[in-house]
Amino acid sequence: MKLKDDRKVELIFEAALKLVAQKGLSGITMGDISREAGIATGTLYVYFTGKDELINALFAASRANSVQVAFRGYELTTPFKLGFRTVWMNILRYKLQHFEEVVFLEQCYHSPYITEETRERARELAVPFYDLIERGQQEMLIKTADTGLLLTFMMGAINELVKQTHYSNETLSKKKIDLTFDLCWDALKA
C-alpha cells in the first residue's frame, strides 16, 4: 500500500481553494482539482474517495487552522478588551492573507456538501469563541445578548471588511482597522 504524501494533500487543498474562489463549490470537479494540483485524477482518488470527502476534509482543516491562528497570543490573564482585540486582529490578518479560504468557508457554511459530522466538529472548534464572549459577559464588558448572535456580528464585520478590502484592491490602513475594531467593540460592549 502506497503511503499518502502530506505535500500532495496541501497541493490538493490549495487547488480546491483556488478553484472554489473562481467557480464556486458546485462548479468544480475532481478532474479540475487534479489538473490544478498537477496530479493525476487517479492519484487524487487515492487521497479522497470523491468531491464530498475532499470538501469536508478541507473544511475541517481550514476551520481548525483558522481557530488556532485566531487565539495565537491570547492569554486568559490579559485584560479582556486587550485579549479580545488580539483575537479580533488575528482573525482579520488571517482572513486578509487567506482570502480564498474565506470564500471557501463562506460557501461551505451554506452547502449541502458539508456533513452533519463535519458541522458538529466545526461547532466544537467554535467553543473558544463562545468562551471568549462569555468571559466578556461575565466581566460585564460585553452585552448579555445571545452569544451566537454577538459572534455573528463580530465575524460579519470582519468578513465584510476583508471582502471590501480584497475587491477594491485597496491597502487596509491602520486607521480603518482601528475604526472598524472600535465600531465592533462599541456595538458589543455592555
- pTM of the full structure: 0.89
As given in the structure block, the three cell numbers for residue 157 are 464585520
> What's the pLDDT score for residue 1?
45
Cα separation values, 166 from 50, 91, 102, 160, 171, Å: 31, 15, 11, 10, 9
Q: What is the pLDDT of residue 3?
A: 60
3-state secondary structure (DSSP) of residue 142: strand
Sign of CA dihedral 42, 9, 51, 32: negative
Residue 116: all three cell numbers together: 452533519
The pLDDT tens digits of the residues spanning 31-63 come to 999 999 999 999 999 999 999 999 999 999 999
Average pLDDT value for the chain: 93
Just give the CATH number of 51-188: 1.10.357.10
Phi/psi region, residue 71 (left: phi>0; alpha: psi -120 to 50; beta: rest), is alpha
Is the pLDDT score of 99 beyond 60? yes
What's the CATH class of domain 1-47? mainly alpha
* Encoded amino acid at 49, one letter: T
Spell out the domain ranges in the chain.
Answer: 1-47, 51-188
